[in-house]
A = this chain, B = another copy of it.
Amino acid sequence: MWAGAAGQSFLRGVRNLDRVERVYCVNPKGGELDDGTPLYHSLAEIPDDVDYVISAVPASAILGLIDDVVAKGVRAIHLFTAGFSETGSGERAELEREALRRLREGGVRLIGPNCMGIHSTRGGVSFMESASRVAGRVGMLSQSGMNASEALSRGQPRGVRFSNVASFGNAADLNEADFLQFLADDPDTDVVLAYLEGIRDGQRFLQVAKSMAGRRPLAVLKGGLTEAGGRAANSHTGSLAGSAQIWRAVQRQAGFMPAESVDELLDIAVTIERMPEIAGPRAAVLGGGGGVSVLAADICDRAGIPVPWFGERTQERLRGFTPLAGTSVRNPLDAGFMFEGEHLEAALTAVAEDESIDWMMVHTGTDSGFRGGDRGNFEERFAAKLGELAPKLARPLAVVIRPPSSASGFQSGLALQQRLNEAGIACYGSLEACVTAVRRYLDWQTHPART
């Protein structure tokens, strides 16, 4: 059931993924779309069984549609349609309850209302017209369609590929516990991300989350934990967001990873997919710039990531090819020279063999003048070298591309990131982002709920 621009956007999402055999469009006015796609006057008119319906009709037309859906024997309906309990109006909340009552009687499951619904790369349905057609192993549930869309679109340059994503809005029928259960068992999913506002079924959510501990990583961004945010969540999805204190207790008990933004969710996914073998927090920090190195060490320390001095043997090896002035061979290794040719291999190899560290973080800027001496084709050569080296190094490697401030720096950063993605190297947009995600993942690994 398609109405106007929104409906056609879902149609383009399905066509972009190109996996669904038969899609039918309905509009009471009939006629056809610009590309010749016929518009059926009603569901009943479609000369075929229908499994799944996406509704973009106005809320006022919803009960008629639902009666048609039940009569047609549809299995599930997604209501993009909004204007129900989230408005705070008693009448609209009653309409939502009545819709749900009729669907339940008819044995039809409901996603929404007031949501973007399902993105399933393999299933061929998406709320995103230009979603990547490459299926990945990251699943997501999100009470907000926009945050789900942001995860998909911001995940694209990060190399984070999704399996199944559900935006479920008011959660009148299927709720967070249902989607979490699905993703906990989904054979196409390895890592689960969540954006939640209210919790409909806290008991079951906690139980499913606990069952995932030690088995399938789960990271949750909880919106509405402050007073102002809680009020906004109530306006958005009619959710009662609950107190930060209770949520922290839930988080501690279930052992999932907390996140504070969509980008943090993606950072966690990158860490788990590309540095699964990280064995402890102690970092080696390598990159150019004394002041940047000092701040990097502060950032690590505050995030609970120690930056211990390298052993004497490592310092000696580094001193072998380090100019004395303006650099430090202790840790952080303040070493712009490192980005030039053969020194990179020598430095990384020496550091990777140091017993005092668990992982290595190389940081670089991409604005002209902030990426060491090696400027022509920097990203190509740097990524090629790292891609060749990383599998041979004794410790996992992360790369931080510091935020650019020029268009050329952004382009160069995107290109570098893409090449690092291809080489399977974990890549982050800031030092904070990297160390926060690593810390979260390590905490998850050692959480007592893990069995």
Q: Which A residues are within 8 Å of any B CB, using their own CB?
A: 58-59, 81-83, 86-87, 114, 142-147, 149-150, 153-154, 156-158, 195, 197, 221, 223-229, 231-233, 235-237, 261, 263, 288-298, 300-302, 306-309, 324-326, 328, 330, 332, 334, 367, 369-370, 403, 405-407, 410-411, 414, 429
Contacts and interface: CB of A to CB of B under 8 A. Distances in A.
A328 B291 contact: no
A142 B291 contact: yes
Given A114-B325, A153-B370, A157-B405, 11 more contacts: A146-B289, A221-B295, A226-B301, A228-B298, A231-B307, A232-B293, A232-B294, A235-B330, A236-B290, A237-B290, A410-B410
Given A157-B405, A291-B223, A295-B261, A324 B83 contact: yes
A307 B231 CA distance: 10
Given A150-B370, A291-B223, A369-B149, A297 B228 contact: yes
Contacts of A142: 291
B143 A291 contact: yes
A80 to B, nearest CB: 9
Contacts of A328: 232, 235-236
Nearest to A114: B326
Nearest to A142: B291
A334 B236 contact: yes
Nearest to A239: B294
A129 to B, nearest CB: 8
A153 to B, nearest CB: 6
Those 9 A-B pairs whose CB atoms lie nearest each other, nearest first = A144-B291, A226-B301, A229-B298, A83-B325, A235-B328, A146-B289, A147-B291, A236-B290, A82-B325
Contacts of A291: 142-147, 195, 197, 223, 236
A295 B298 CA distance: 27
A403 B153 CA distance: 12
